[in-house]
A and B are shown apart, each in its own frame.
Chain A
Amino acid sequence: MLGWWLPLVLLGAALLPAQQYDLVLRGGHVLDPGSGLDAVMDVAVAGGRIAAMEPRIAASEARKAVDVSGLYVVPGLVDLHAHVFGYPGALFPDDTALIAGTTTVVDAGGSGWRTFDQMRQRIVKPSKTRVLALINIVGSGMAGETAESNTADMEPEKTAEAIKRNRDVIVGIKTAHFGGQGWTAIDRAVAAGRLSGVPVMVDDKIFTNTGRTTREKVLDHLRPGDLHTHMYNDRQVELVDRFTGKVQPYMLEARRRGVLFDLGHGAGSFLWPVASRAMSQGFMPDTISTDLHAASILVQQSDMPNCMSKLMLLGMSLPEAVLRATASPAKAIARYPEIGTLCVGRTADIAVLEMQDGAFAFKDAWGAKRLGTKRLECTLTIREGKLVYDRDGRGFPPWIAAGEYEVIP
């Protein structure tokens, strides 16, 4: 039996404007290179997902309408090389990532198969940022030079088992800082990658005589889809030939074969002469990542928008930079289009970026600056549909008109 109240409810529903969306970003320039979108559009969010993208969505259709005109609306940035566990300079994800528009960080080798569960409990679970992991081929993770060179603790089977148990978080394998001779660390990382079907990211020592050359590394040991990180790190030994200034032919060949080149800026791996020479020859990073840690955040401020700004200073276009900071890294870890795009139906991870005009100094790994006139800065971040960072308070009403407010949702 229908209640007497039903007609009233129906009437109410018809009269009230239906607020089908939780939030709408209005008037922004949407840049989603993954899906090829580059236009002024309104973006609506409901239930943590992108619900609609239209030239115009009325403010009345959402519980919260945010004016983002004059700003760029891009997929939440995906930082493929971050340090949020295990490494001595590791940072907490939320306060460095979300304020920079980064909604996904991939911890690069802080944990190994022995320590991954700790990382899941302490970092992955409590963070608002989506935290994924490349686990170290060393079982104990980034536990210092000695541990990281201990080949007895590099077990492909154990590593692959941990990956299979934790597919929701582990997206690949990292090998780094191996001080020993020969190829054990890299080959075992690749072996674990074969067993589990994930890519390997390699950070190799280049200033120590290890019996390894970069040429052999990228051509004989890495597979298509594996990542060579810290690509702009060297003076004249790795990427750019010291006599001709040209990008090494074996690097070009490796790229043709599908090896990916990752920025991994950090405090030692972005040098103006290397980056500008490589960029002027069109040798751009496939993926833009920060290698952010306690030292680099203070000295170089090299978060994602900073890295993107630097590459734009060297000639990369904004859509190219956004592509390499969203869809490309998501694809590199086989998470596209689950992340890295603003397609309707996908998780609403969104960054709103401001392109600033002025005079700005950008510092490289050796603390040398290069002046530029444009800088990207994150103004607002949405993670899983929730407004988590809002530099200018755009998403909230003036206090003077808000009455005896406690906490405005």
Chain B
Amino acid sequence: MTRLVLLCVLLAPAGAGQVYDLLLKNGNVIDPANHRSGRMDVAVAGNKIARVAPDLPAAHARIVIDSSQYYVTPGLVDIHTHFNWLGGGLNLLPDYNALPNGVTTAVDAGGSDWKNFEAFKSTVIDHAKTRVLAFLNVDSDLDATARTVQKHRDTIVGLQTVSRDAMGRAVKAAELSGTIVMVDLHGKSEGEYSALIRRMRPGDIYTHTYGRPIPPWASEARKRGVLFDVGHGAGGFWFRIAAPAIRQGFLPDTISTDIDKESVMLPRATMTNVMSKLLNIGMDLDQVVERSTLGPARAIHRPDLGTLAEGAIADIAVLELQKGTFGFLDSGRGRLIGDRRLRCVLTVRNGAIAWDSEGLSAPDWMKAGPYSNFK
């Protein structure tokens, strides 16, 4: 009899006795990848999303967080960052600049090339809590570049180029390795710019979209499948360009920060802040969330990211939409007064709580065990 019971327990379907490690209760879920929008619970078991549904049993969870005041979204995906601090310069540390802003996946934009990528990976990427991916910078050795891309397919998502000369090489290396190119034309003249943008292929990403007036043929490039990325930075986002463009319907495909030592200060180009700026110049919350999760995940061909699909790695952002009067600066330090601000209150990365500014998961000190001698 005992044996029979034991056998039954062993054979029971995994779902029946499911215990959740974390349950985000009753949040406003926005999960564009799975067409979810509305009040429901998000349950995490181990490092995976276990269930997303209304009214999951709280008694089955180790940590339950009342999320009713917040929006629950997939962990944000920022495809334009500068986190290869080995290179010094303007680079930042990933974890402190990503996780508190809900970013669970950050793509370093061109901070490494085939020669130093391994060092970047072993020193920065492998030790970060944040998932750090990379656009590899293109140099003259196209074969070595393509080989490096192929060797590190799960980390290198594309190539980056900032110069006119490298543009042809970048496209060639991308073709060799079957990947995409992010093109940063900051500071280029109008002539160069129009020639270069025509060479971009469908799926290639044009960053700093609102860093210069958007020419009429940008819409044509978009029709061809060229993607337009925000890349805010210290020189890539002006309200005087972005506000009219968005009003006229030229929305970014992907929202990204171009965060570095400069842009993180006065323009405060953190992910939630960049999203807030767009929210206050005409985009709605669903659009902003979609283009910070599903949009960038698709752009870098990583459908496993930017989603709350059951079975996916549990990367989650819990966002507060504050109402009030808030000021924001752009790259040119023009000031925008807005009435909404997004702030990240909790970040789950790989199933673990990596940020919790409101102490939502923390026990009250009077109830905390190790203090027993002091009661």
Instruction: Determine the residue in chain A with the shortest Cβ distance to B361.
Output: A367
A361 within 8 A of B: yes
B268 within 8 A of A: yes
Asked if A389 and B266 make an inter-chain contact with CB atoms under 8 angstroms apart, the answer reads yes
B residues near A366, Cβ cutoff 8 Å: 368, 370
User: How far in angstroms is the closest Cβ of chain A from B261?
Assistant: 6
Instruction: Determine the residue in chain B with the shortest Cβ distance to A367.
Output: B362
B333 within 8 A of A: yes
Return the CB mask of A218-256 against B: 1 if under 8 Å, else 0. Answer: 000000000000000001100000100100000000000
One of A12-20, A87-95, A323-331 contacting the partner: A87-95
Instruction: Determine the residue in chain A with the shortest Cβ distance to B334.
Output: A399
List B330-375 residues whose CB lies under 8 Å from chain A: 330-337, 354-355, 357-360, 362-365, 368, 370-371, 373-374
B residues near A389, Cβ cutoff 8 Å: 265-266
In the bound complex, what is the Cα–Cα distance between A271 and B372 (angstroms)?
13
In the bound complex, what is the Cα–Cα distance between A408 and B332 (angstroms)?
6
A390 within 8 A of B: yes
Instruction: Determine the residue in chain B with the shortest Cβ distance to A404.
Output: B240
Say yes or no: A242-B373 contact (C-beta < 8 A), given A363-B359, A368-B363, A369-B362.
yes
Say yes or no: A298-B355 contact (C-beta < 8 A), given A92-B92, A399-B335.
yes
A406 within 8 A of B: yes
Asked if A394 and B362 make an inter-chain contact with CB atoms under 8 angstroms apart, the answer reads no
A residues near B335, Cβ cutoff 8 Å: 393, 396-399
A277 within 8 A of B: yes
Asked if B327 and A273 make an inter-chain contact with CB atoms under 8 angstroms apart, the answer reads no
A58 within 8 A of B: no
Asked if A369 and B96 make an inter-chain contact with CB atoms under 8 angstroms apart, the answer reads no
The interface size of chain B toward A, counting residues with CB under 8 Å, comes to: 45
Say yes or no: A393-B96 contact (C-beta < 8 A), given A272-B371, A404-B240.
no
Instruction: Determine the residue in chain A with the shortest Cβ distance to B89.
Output: A126
Asked if A298 and B100 make an inter-chain contact with CB atoms under 8 angstroms apart, the answer reads yes
Asked if B373 and A399 make an inter-chain contact with CB atoms under 8 angstroms apart, the answer reads no
Say yes or no: A388-B266 contact (C-beta < 8 A), given A92-B261, A402-B334.
yes
User: How far in angstroms is the closest Cβ of chain A from B123?
Assistant: 12
Asked if A294 and B96 make an inter-chain contact with CB atoms under 8 angstroms apart, the answer reads yes
User: How far in angstroms is the closest Cβ of chain A from B336?
Assistant: 6
B residues near A397, Cβ cutoff 8 Å: 334-335
Asked if B336 and A398 make an inter-chain contact with CB atoms under 8 angstroms apart, the answer reads yes
Asked if A94 and B265 make an inter-chain contact with CB atoms under 8 angstroms apart, the answer reads yes
In the bound complex, what is the Cα–Cα distance between A298 and B95 (angstroms)?
8
Asked if B333 and A388 make an inter-chain contact with CB atoms under 8 angstroms apart, the answer reads no
In the bound complex, what is the Cα–Cα distance between A95 and B374 (angstroms)?
37
Say yes or no: A95-B371 contact (C-beta < 8 A), given A362-B359, A369-B364, A398-B337.
no
User: How far in angstroms is the closest Cβ of chain A from B91?
Assistant: 9
The interface size of chain A toward B, counting residues with CB under 8 Å, comes to: 51
Query: Which one of A92, A362, A388, A390 lies within 8 Å of B93 (CB-CB)?
Result: A92
B residues near A235, Cβ cutoff 8 Å: 370, 373
In the bound complex, what is the Cα–Cα distance between A271 and B243 (angstroms)?
48
In the bound complex, what is the Cα–Cα distance between A405 and B332 (angstroms)?
7
B217 within 8 A of A: no
Query: Which one of A294, A361, A398, A406 lies within 8 Å of B362 (CB-CB)?
Result: A361
A297 within 8 A of B: yes
Instruction: Determine the residue in chain B with the shortest Cβ distance to A389.
Output: B265
List A76-123 residues whose CB lies under 8 Å from chain B: 91-92, 94-96, 98-99, 122
Residue in A94, A99, A297, A390 with the greatest tally of chain B CB atoms within 10 Å: A390
A392 within 8 A of B: yes
In the bound complex, what is the Cα–Cα distance between A390 and B265 (angstroms)?
8
Asked if B334 and A122 make an inter-chain contact with CB atoms under 8 angstroms apart, the answer reads no
User: How far in angstroms is the closest Cβ of chain B from A369?
Assistant: 4
User: How far in angstroms is the closest Cβ of chain A from B97?
Assistant: 7
B residues near A344, Cβ cutoff 8 Å: none
In the bound complex, what is the Cα–Cα distance between A364 and B365 (angstroms)?
8
A164 within 8 A of B: no
Asked if B88 and A95 make an inter-chain contact with CB atoms under 8 angstroms apart, the answer reads no
Given contacts A399-B240, A408-B332, 16 further A-B pairs with CB under 8 A are: A92-B92, A94-B265, A245-B374, A271-B371, A273-B373, A298-B99, A361-B358, A361-B362, A362-B359, A364-B365, A369-B362, A369-B364, A396-B334, A397-B335, A399-B335, A399-B336
7 contacts across the A-B interface (CB closer than 8 A): A301-B357, A363-B359, A366-B368, A369-B364, A393-B336, A402-B334, A408-B333
Interface residues of A (CB under 8 A from B): 91-92, 94-96, 98-99, 122, 126, 235-236, 242, 245, 271-273, 277, 294, 297-298, 301, 360-364, 366-371, 387-394, 396-400, 402, 404-408
Closest 3 CB pairs of A and B: A399-B334, A361-B359, A369-B359
